[in-house]
Every structure is written in structure tokens, then in C-alpha cells.
A and B are shown apart, each in its own frame.
Chain A
Amino acid sequence: MSPAWVKSDRQWERERVRRSRARRSTSIATASTIVFLTLVAWIVTSSPGWPRVQESFFSVEAFATALPDVLDGFLLNVKIFLIAEPLILVVGLLVALARGIKTPAFFPIRALATLYTDIFRGVPTLLVIYLVGFGLPGLRLQGVPTDLATLGIIALTLSYGAYVAEVFRSGIDSVHPSQIAAARSLGLSHGKAMRFVVLPQAVRRVVPPLLNDFVSLQKDTALVATIGLMEALRQAQIFASGKFNYTSYLVAALLFVLLTIPLARFTDHLAERTRRRRGA
């Protein structure tokens, strides 16, 4: 009984207009991109110092020789990153939850968690790496690791854990109080309400900012070079000072970019999905 849709001439015409406008936007975008890139390339290559820069930063030969060492170092960056990331998530979540405890008897835990975020968000990551990398083994305590990679991971976890805790906390705060009221009135304890109702919603909301922090962490693994770890940046430094050629830095930069771009696109994709869900 309901009518069937036969596309009208008006709609065919309208879609033709839309397509031609889309084509026009694409050509404009392409043209402006080409003009822009040409302009940038021209400005750079016509600068007086370009031949020198080209030689010391963009040498194909140096690129090929530096790549194996830098790549080898870069694997250490990836390793540090992969181990630190889950640790940071655990620390961040625990600290965020500790800051939400209302029971008076657990006040010290809450205070400690607050103190932790206050301190480690305030101290530059580089400083934390110095303090942990040189200070911790200096104590000569039994059982304290002396392996540089482990120390680097501890330092990064301490520093990033504080940021991630705040991200989690803002996520928890963003869940509407009515959700807690509904869970509590079903008889769920504070812990159960958190676990089954609040956290699942909070975590979904904070995934994009968390991934953003992880992109930042990927780069900051280079900071452990300062305590003597042979990772990508350190390898690049060694190459540069030995050969008087900075192409190795370009190699390291490229490797870092190649690692962060997929994660950045994934973050965009998640944000876009959330946006679409909200719009529907």
C-alpha cells in the first residue's frame, strides 16, 4: 500500500549539481595544495644555505648507512613504549579511583594519590627521568633495578601515570550523577556502581584523549637517551658526531612519525565515530 520511490528528474539533476560541486571542491583543494607545496619547496631550496643543509641533513648515502643503527635503537623505543603503556593505564586508573574514595578510613590513600598527581604532573618528564635514572640506583637499595631500560620505563610510567589518572578522573566525573543514583538505588555498592556502570561509560569517553597521551608518550621515549640508553635518538647522535652529518636525526624523526601517524589516524577515527553516534 505504501508508495515506492522512483527517483525524480529533479533529484537526478540535483545529484548532478552536487557531484559537479564536489568535483569543483576537490580540484580547488588539489590546486591550492600544489601551489602551497611548490611555494614551500621553492622558498626552502632557494635559500642561501640550502646546498649545505641538503648535504648535512638530506644525504641519501648517510641515510642508508645510519638507518640500520637508528632502527635498531628505535626497536628499544618501541619496547619501552609497549611495556610502559599498559603500566601507565593501570597506575592511572588506580590513582583515579583512589582519588574518588570517600570512606574516611582511606583518607591517607586519597591524600597520597592527590599528592602523586600534583607532584608528577608538575615535574618535567626529563627531570623525572634524571631523578629515577641516576637517583634510584644511587640509593644502592636491595632489589632496586639498575637496568637502564627498566629505570626509563619506571620514570615514564610515573610521569605519564599522573596525566592519565587525571584523564580517567575527568571521564569518571563526566558520567552524569543520575547514573550513579540509578545504580545505587538498585542496591549496588559504590565499588560495584563504579565497576559496572560508571567506568564502562567513562572509559569509552576518555579513549581519544588517552590515545593522544600515548602519541605523546611514543615521542617521549626518546628522552631516556639522556640517561645513556642506546635508543633511536642516542644512536642518531652517535652517528651525527662521528660522521659530521645530521641525516641520522632525520632518520629518527621519520621513524617516530611513522609510528605516531597510525595511532593519530586511529584517534581521529574514534572521535569521528563518537561524533556520528551523537549526531544520530
Chain B
Amino acid sequence: MSLLTVEGVWKSFRGHAVLRGIDLEVRPHEVVSLIGASGSGKSTLLRCVNLLETVDDGAIFLDDREITDPRVDVDDVRKRLGIVFQAFNLFPHMTVLDNITLAPRQVHKVARAQAEEEAHDLLTRFGLAGKARAYPDQLSGGQQQRVAIIRALATRPRLMLLDEVTSALDPALVVEVLGIIRELKQAGMTMILTTHEMGFCRDISDTVCFLDGGVLLEKGPPEKILSDPDHVRTREFLRSVLEAGRL
């Protein structure tokens, strides 16, 4: 049984088709990476899953219930999803602790004391124990992104969506963020992530999907896709990544 099923999803912006019939299945505890050039549709696919975009056609199922049905309560779906953005998007006027406990308290009706206790546990687990009272602008980029991940985790999502979470960070900070994601995988979290870090992608993914011009060209275990892909487009993409020195 799959946790998330994407079936023939189409999406265009102003007449330009960004997703052209995407099919994808994600099993529980599976980590799926989406790779491909900018504009290939990776981020749009994540935004469709999170219902930040309305699909033009096709359907998405979460735990076998269709979430793209117009009658579905969007907030109810999003309660079960965690998303982390490239630019962190922490709330600058709140402390780290308040950023993390906002959704548990306001959406999931957890008591403040309990929400804060759980937040402290997560902060300790991910090496940010001393930062609970700090404001986002007092943290490094890597710390901010770790807080953003914890914020998404605090609502105990069924599925985490990570959209190029390391793209805005310098290499030294990338390592600490990737560390968290590895730990999440070990804890059994189901994740879909888009990334340009091919080494990390190979290391963490159960399945790698290569998107090209809105089409899911090929999909398979990382050893296969990243080393011996079937499609010439995939090979071209990997070669350009190699030239940029990111493999």
C-alpha cells in the first residue's frame, strides 16, 4: 500500500505546461528524490502535493484518500504534511520556540506546556538546545533551516516535503542540515525531496526520479539512475552536474 499516489498530474502556468502527466507512488518510510534542471517541475510537483497549487488534471491520494478533490478541506490535508522551503520562511517576529509550537498549539490544539516540551526535545535531538529563545535573525542559515525542519516535524506529519532545503546554504552548513535529514530517514520518516546535491541524493534516496520538461522520464534506485541511466537526457543532466562539480 502506498502512502502517497500521484496519478497523471498536469499543471500549467499561463499556458505553459510545467507538469505533463506525472505518475508517482511513495511507500511508507520511502525516501524519494526528485532531480532535474531548474524549471523541470520538481518544486511545482511538491507544491501540488501540498495543495499550494491546484492541479489542472489528474489526482493525488494521501493514505488512499483523494486530496485533490475540490470538496476536501485543504487545512485538514496540510495538517498531515510537513513542508520545508529553500528560503526557510521562519516567522521573523517569533522566537525559535514559538515558530515550532505555533502549529501544534493553534492547529492541533496541543497545550502550550506539552508543545514546548516536545519542541525542546526536538531542539535537543537536533543540536539546538540553547536556541529556543533566540530569534531567527540571530541564527546561522544552517541553524535556521534546522529550525524550519523541526517546525515541520512538530506536527508529526505523515509525509515530509523538502524543497531544495540546502540550496541557500554554504557547504559547511549544508552538512548539518543533511545530517538531520539522514536522522529522519533512520527514524522511518517518509520524505519527498528535491535536491541538487547528487552525492547526498545517492546516499539517502530509496528511489530517484528524473524530471525533464514536466515529464517523469525515469525512476529507480539511485545506483541505477545516477550511474547507469537509460535516457540520454538523464545522462546529459548528470554530465552537466558533474561539470559543475556537484557529484
Contacts and interface: CB of A to CB of B under 8 A. Distances in A.
Interface of A: 2-3, 5, 7-8, 10-11, 14, 17-18, 21
Looking at A3, A7, A11, A14, the one whose CB has the most chain B CB atoms below 10 A away is: A14
Nearest to B8: A8
Contacts of A17: 69-71
Contact of A11 (B17, B57, B214): B57
Contacts of A21: 70-71
20 contacts: A2-B20, A2-B214, A3-B20, A3-B21, A3-B215, A5-B10, A5-B17, A5-B20, A5-B21, A5-B56, A5-B57, A7-B57, A8-B58, A10-B58, A10-B59, A11-B57, A11-B58, A17-B69, A21-B70, A21-B71
A142 B96 CA distance: 66
Secondary structure of the B side of the interface? strand
A144 B214 CA distance: 71
Looking at B10, B57, B69, B214, the one whose CB has the most chain A CB atoms below 10 A away is: B57
A18 B20 CA distance: 22
Contacts of B157: none
Given A14-B69, A17-B71, A21-B70, A8 B215 contact: no
Contacts of A7: 57
7 A-B pairs closest in CB distance: A11-B57, A18-B70, A17-B70, A3-B21, A5-B10, A8-B57, A3-B20
A3 B217 CA distance: 12
Nearest to B13: A280
Secondary structure of the A side of the interface? helix
B57 A10 contact: yes
B226 to A, nearest CB: 23
Nearest to B59: A10
Nearest to B56: A11
Interface of B: 8, 10, 17, 20-21, 56-59, 68-71, 213-215
A209 B21 CA distance: 44
Contacts of B214: 2
B210 to A, nearest CB: 15
Contacts of B8: 8
A209 B214 CA distance: 41
Nearest to B68: A14
Contacts of A18: 70
A266 to B, nearest CB: 25
Nearest to A16: B70
A128 B8 CA distance: 68
A21 B71 CA distance: 9
B32 to A, nearest CB: 22
A3 B68 CA distance: 22
A5 B8 CA distance: 10
Contacts of B68: 14
A21 B58 CA distance: 20
A2 B213 contact: yes
A8 B57 CA distance: 7
A21 B69 CA distance: 12
A45 B98 CA distance: 52
A14 B8 CA distance: 14
Nearest to B212: A2
Nearest to A4: B20
A21 B10 CA distance: 22
B215 A2 contact: yes
A5 B57 CA distance: 9
Contacts of B58: 8, 10-11
A7 B17 CA distance: 13
A14 B10 CA distance: 14
A8 B59 CA distance: 10
Contacts of B71: 17, 21
Contacts of A3: 20-21, 215
